[in-house]
Chain A
Amino acid sequence: MSLLRRPETIVALVLLAAMLGIGFVNPAFWSLDNQFGLLKSNVITGIMALGVLLVMISGGIDVSFPAFAAAAMYLTVHGMVQTGYTGVAIPFVVATLIGLALGAFNAFCIRAFRMIPLIVTLGTASVVRGLLLGLVGTSVININKMPPQLIEFGRTDMIDITHTDGTRFGLTAMILVYGALALGVHLVLRYTMIGRSLYAYGGSPESASRVGFDTRKTLLFAYCTAGALAGFAGLLHASLIWLANPRDFVGFELDVIAAVVLGGASIFGGRGSVVGTLLGVFLLIMIKNSLILMHIDTTWQQVVVGAIIVCSTALTAWRDRKRVG
């Protein structure tokens, strides 16, 4: 496909136009601290979007990851508070593994009972949220109880700039974590057979098993990775906002799915790329943040996100249908 017709190019052009437009209305948009803030807001949505991208390429959909993120985050932080553990690496591994295990359960239900991913993940999301609140607790772990090393970790900056008036701002180092994960997912999708099997399965599940892909492994990979990334992002989120709320991430699925679709992934499966997703996430976050910047009521954000989903899905669906016809 020529570079100009790629969905990524189109998203990039739209993004550029939107940036110029917003910057024109409010030049503060171009200030470094706004740009840094914008990048920081990309991290959590972006990491989750990478997982959802894999699931969507395989032709499925996942709406359970916000619940998994909340569960992994709250369980881990809760455990750290209870045991007084002071490390950082192990908790992130634990949160990731919790997400992975929950993702495996999704894959198992979808595969074993041949159920529709939307229904399965709606169900597991509800079960996980219910269990978390019922068995683990409902109280928010706020800043004075949060493990300080998590907060410290979340505050790591890679660029530090001091304003002339003495206030400081920085670019969070979490953007590196996000970048590394994105690169990893890109390489897997592009250069490994398991990555290609996602595209094959998303294109035609029947053909994928006929040519000899282990489609069980493909599904497991997609949903486990989505769960693991969500679990990781969950804990990272807590360390960025300095509190752990078991009711967090409600409604997150809409933003993330919107971003992935906006990035050119097909809701029918078989199409999508990391580059597109990164652009989609950036575009969505930027629009949402700019609405705040322009003092537009937050309720309108929901309208915007919904409209973005409808428009971009309609566009990709139209594109895919044209291709078939």
Chain B
Amino acid sequence: MTDGLIELRHVGKRFAGIRALDDVSLTVRRGEIHCLAGENGSGKSTIIKVMSGVYQPDEGDILIDDASVKRMTPAESVGRGIQVIYQDLSLFGNLSVAENLAMNRYLKEGRRAVRWGETRQIARAALDRLGVELDLAADVESLPTSARQIVAIARALQAEARLIIMDEPTTALTRNEVERLLDITRTIQRDGIAVLFVSHKMREMLEISERLTVMRNGKVVVQGPIGDFTEASITRHMTGHDLSHETYRRPAVTETVPPRVAVEGLTVPGAVAGVDLTLRPGDIIGLSGLIGSGRTELALALFGMRPDHGGTIRIDGKEARLRTVGDAIRHGIAYVPEDRLSEGLFLTQSVSRNMLASSLDAVTRGFTVDRARAATVSDGMIDAMQIATRSGETPVGFLSGGNQQRVVIARWLLTQARVLILNGPTVGVDVGSKAEIHRIIRDLATERGLAVLMISDDVPELLQHCNAILLMHRGRIVQRFEGGTATEDSMGAALKALR
């Protein structure tokens, strides 16, 4: 008798001839916190689906409590105490917290009737187990993401879980909420429940897990106790190569050139209370602060989406009226909201169409698109951005992640953007693509002289890729860190002081 709860032995899985899993062996022990790391497409989600019975492996065995399971079905998996918390949490936003928590129990017992008093009792007990308090009558969709996650975890525990698999649980959480989640994970562990964390965030893995398995291209690359790893070594195993850790320095610019963007006394009612900001060509300025600090409103004001803003904005020395998005685009400002780097693409459409999507005016003659001109423009861009694609007509979905990112960036460049505002540019992006995005942003700043304003919660990201970081609080910039001199500790302390 080993202490293995679930064990995969030499598991293989193919989809249409492509190997999603190749001879994967992985054991999750009772009551341990195990981390499964890997980039998108490394086979992590396939593992989850094999463990939860959604997929049947083509080769190999699944053992639960050291006994081979012949056919793993979703019902079998749940019956054996395996619960998956998917990234979307699978909660019912339109139903109350209490009902979401009690539903599993009712379903498991095959009940036909609902007793509301009992529903609340079940829910209260479930939350007590995690030591949290939530309004049981509130609709789940009215809760913040972190609270929804707690509901999802409590629900999984309700189903007599012995192993909880969490798929990218920290993606949508702020640093503070991540801490709380990790605390809850430890609470669960004390009850003897194992947790499999599926993530690509090094920091959390190092912080929480006892053992780590790293996957790449459907194979297990390395496995061992967490003490054997460092951030750099995890990254190396995940991507297969080392990533640069150089901090960004702005190329020297002559001070006589007017700044690209000069903001004075910018106000947005209820959000920004007077901000001065200067962006020079080649600047990558980081902007951080708690949610509600006014940082997003500041960005939206620059992008013409807050026509009620006050103060003056100068672009290249000339005062600019930015009252509509159209105004902002005409002044060369591009704003990329969260996730757009990875999701702002029409995957089934061609590379060329994706690149031209925001600048069709430039290649339109009368009412029709000038195809020859469109092809010239997009081919030129494919060369300039070194996008690895067979032709401009290839659907973007066929390109690798990094190349897809370049297509999105090419699209902004075609709009003649000179100022780039990025809101959470790498939220939910895996390490390899993240490095790629950072590299492209740095190239844009140094080689094309764009001024970049980068809003982010990711302290290491800000420190490495910005030449200055501004900290916002209650609508004002309260602190400025110079790149190269600030450290994670000093910034972390400053952020903590704001709470």
**A residues at B contact (CB < 8 Å):** 1, 190-196, 199-200, 202-204, 206-208, 210-213, 266, 270-271, 323-324
Structural contact, B94 and A192, CB atoms closer than 8 A: no
Structural contact, B113 and A203, CB atoms closer than 8 A: no
Structural contact, B113 and A192, CB atoms closer than 8 A: yes
Could you say which residues of chain B place their CB within 8 Å of the CB of A208?
92
**B residues at A contact (CB < 8 Å):** 75, 78, 86, 88, 90-95, 99, 103-104, 106-108, 111-115, 137, 139, 141-142
Known A192-B113, A192-B114, A324-B141: A212·B108 in contact at CB below 8 Å: yes
In the bound complex, what is the Cα–Cα distance between A323 and B94 (angstroms)? Answer: 10
Known A1-B139, A194-B112, A323-B139: A204·B104 in contact at CB below 8 Å: no
Nearest A residue to B99 via CB reads A196
A162 to chain B, nearest CB (A): 46
Given A1-B137, A212-B104, A323-B142; 5 other pairs, CB 8 A cutoff = A191-B115, A200-B92, A207-B92, A211-B107, A270-B94
In the bound complex, what is the Cα–Cα distance between A257 and B58 (angstroms)? Answer: 49
Structural contact, A190 and B78, CB atoms closer than 8 A: no
In the bound complex, what is the Cα–Cα distance between A212 and B83 (angstroms)? Answer: 12
Known A196-B99, A196-B103, A211-B104: A203·B114 in contact at CB below 8 Å: no
Structural contact, B111 and A203, CB atoms closer than 8 A: no
Structural contact, A193 and B90, CB atoms closer than 8 A: no
In the bound complex, what is the Cα–Cα distance between A203 and B99 (angstroms)? Answer: 13
Could you say which residues of chain B place their CB within 8 Å of the CB of A213?
107
Choose among A1, A193, A212, A266 the residue that contacts B114 (Cβ–Cβ < 8 A). Answer: A193
Known A190-B114, A193-B106, A200-B103: A212·B78 in contact at CB below 8 Å: yes
Structural contact, B112 and A200, CB atoms closer than 8 A: no
Could you say which residues of chain A place their CB within 8 Å of the CB of B88?
206-207
Structural contact, B113 and A191, CB atoms closer than 8 A: yes
Could you say which residues of chain B place their CB within 8 Å of the CB of A207?
88, 90-92
In the bound complex, what is the Cα–Cα distance between A266 and B139 (angstroms)? Answer: 15
Could you say which residues of chain B place their CB within 8 Å of the CB of A206?
88, 90
Could you say which residues of chain B place their CB within 8 Å of the CB of A211?
90, 103-104, 107
In the bound complex, what is the Cα–Cα distance between A271 and B94 (angstroms)? Answer: 7
Nearest B residue to A2 via CB reads B137
Could you say which residues of chain B place their CB within 8 Å of the CB of A194?
112
Nearest B residue to A268 via CB reads B94
Residue among B94, B103, B108 with max Cβ neighbours from chain A (10 Å): B94
Query: What are 25 A-B pairs at a CB distance below 8 A?
Result: A1-B137, A190-B114, A193-B111, A193-B113, A196-B95, A196-B103, A196-B114, A199-B94, A200-B95, A202-B94, A203-B92, A203-B95, A204-B90, A204-B92, A207-B88, A207-B90, A207-B92, A211-B104, A212-B78, A212-B104, A213-B107, A270-B92, A270-B94, A323-B141, A324-B93
A211 to chain B, nearest CB (A): 6
- The 10 A-B residue pairs whose C-beta atoms are closest, nearest first, are A270-B94, A207-B90, A203-B94, A203-B92, A212-B107, A210-B90, A200-B92, A191-B114, A193-B112, A323-B141
Nearest A residue to B96 via CB reads A1
In the bound complex, what is the Cα–Cα distance between A190 and B115 (angstroms)? Answer: 9
Could you say which residues of chain B place their CB within 8 Å of the CB of A199?
92, 94-95
Could you say which residues of chain B place their CB within 8 Å of the CB of A196?
95, 99, 103, 114
A247 to chain B, nearest CB (A): 39
In the bound complex, what is the Cα–Cα distance between A200 and B141 (angstroms)? Answer: 13
Could you say which residues of chain B place their CB within 8 Å of the CB of A191?
113-115
B214 to chain A, nearest CB (A): 28
Could you say which residues of chain B place their CB within 8 Å of the CB of A190?
114
In the bound complex, what is the Cα–Cα distance between A25 and B90 (angstroms)? Answer: 52
Could you say which residues of chain A place their CB within 8 Å of the CB of B141?
323-324
B418 to chain A, nearest CB (A): 31
Could you say which residues of chain A place their CB within 8 Å of the CB of B137?
1
Nearest B residue to A207 via CB reads B90
Nearest B residue to A270 via CB reads B94
A163 to chain B, nearest CB (A): 48
B477 to chain A, nearest CB (A): 27
In the bound complex, what is the Cα–Cα distance between A271 and B111 (angstroms)? Answer: 22
In the bound complex, what is the Cα–Cα distance between A200 and B114 (angstroms)? Answer: 14
A323 to chain B, nearest CB (A): 6
Could you say which residues of chain A place their CB within 8 Å of the CB of B93?
203-204, 270, 324
A190 to chain B, nearest CB (A): 7
Could you say which residues of chain A place their CB within 8 Å of the CB of B90?
204, 206-207, 210-211
